[in-house]
Amino acid sequence: MEVASGLLPVQSSKLKLDRSTSKAATMEVQILSSKLVKPAAEPTNNDTLAEPECIPLSVFDKVTYQIQMAIIYAFAPPAPTTAALEKGLALALADHRAFAGQLVTREEGPAVLLNDRGARVVEARVDDADLIDVAPPKPKPELLMLHPDLAVEHEEVVVLQLTRFRCGSLVVGFTAHHAVADGRGTSSFLVAWGRATRGLDMGLPPLYHHEGLFMPRLSPRVEFDHRNREYYLPPSPFAVASIADKESILVHKAHFTKDFIAHLRAAASHGLSRPFSRFETILAHIWRTITRARGLAPNETSTIRLSVDGRDRLGVPARYANNLVLWAFPHTTVSDLLTKPLMHAAQLIHDEVGRVADAGYFQSFIDFACSGNIKEEGLSPSAALNLRDVLCPDLEVHSWLTFPFYDLDFGTGSPAYVMPSYFPAEGLIFLMPSYIGDGSIDAFVPVFQDNLEAFKQCCYSISMDGDSS
Catalytic positions: 178, 409
Rg (CA), the chain: 23
| 396 DSSP β-pair partners | 305, 428
Is residue 113 within 8 A of residue 106, CB to CB? The reply is: no
Is residue 312 within 8 A of residue 382, CB to CB? The reply is: no
Q: Find out whether the peptide bond into 298 is cis, omega within 30 degrees of 0.
A: no
Contacts of 323 (CB under 8 A, 6+ apart): 58, 60, 61, 64, 178, 179, 181, 182, 185
For residue 206, give the DSSP letter.
Answer: P
Which of helix, strand or coil describes residue 87? Answer: helix
Q: What DSSP letter does each residue of 24-76 carry, written as one string? A: EEEEEEEEEEEEEEPPSS--S---TTSPPPEEE--HHHHHS--SEEEEEEEEP
Q: How far apart are CA 341 and CA 295, in angstroms?
A: 18
Question: Residue 271 corresponds to which amino acid?
Answer: G
Instruction: State the number of CA atoms in the 13 A half-sphere of 261 facing the CB.
Output: 21
370, 373, 374, 379 alpha-carbon torsion, rounded to 10°? -160
Pick the closest to residue 414 from 134, 101, 136, 80 (CA basis). 80
Cα-Cα end-to-end distance for the chain: 62
